[in-house]
Amino acid sequence: GESVGLHLPTLSVQEGDNSIINCAYSNSASDYFIWYKQESGKGPQFIIDIRSNMDKRQGQRVTVLLNKTVKHLSLQIAATQPGDSAVYFCAEVGGSNYKLTFGKGTLLTVNP
């Protein structure tokens, strides 16, 4: 069945380092992917998205990479800051069913 999962449930980095959060998906029909950031006690906040006709998209300090061959998605955060500490979720939208399927999340901790 459909599933969205993460390779690393926790990630700890030093302030100023670059962070990479990975996500695997299993539905080859998925054509749209989203990364969300969730801080404690708050709702998920949209970070960046990418469609399946692209393999890279950049935002402010963030880059999403999509490898459809191995069904892998990653979020890169440049010069990670303490304010980046949060749980990061990837989500996919699969084919003609516009349902959004979420992974379990990765906890990113940034050490000062």
Partner 1 sequence: DGGITQSPKYLFRKEGQNVTLSCEQNLNHDAMYWYRQDPGQGLRLIYYSQIVNDFQKGDIAEGYSVSREKKESFPLTVTSAQKNPTAFYLCASSQTYNNQPQHFGDGTRLSIL
User: What residues make contact with partner 1 under the rule CB under 8 A?
Assistant: 4, 32, 34, 36, 41-46, 49, 89, 93, 98-100, 102-105
Minimum separation from the CB atom of position 95 to partner 1 (A): 11
Q: Are 77 and 61 spatial neighbours (Cβ–Cβ below 8 Å)?
A: yes
Q: 20: which 2 tokens?
A: 């990479």
Burial label, 45 (beta-carbon count in 10 A; 0-12, 13-18, 19+) = exposed
Minimum separation from the CB atom of position 38 to partner 1 (A): 9
Rounded distance, CA 57 to CA 63, Å?
Answer: 6
Minimum separation from the CB atom of position 43 to partner 1 (A): 4
- Give the DSSP letter of residue 7: S
Residue with smaller CB distance to partner 1, 4 or 66: 4
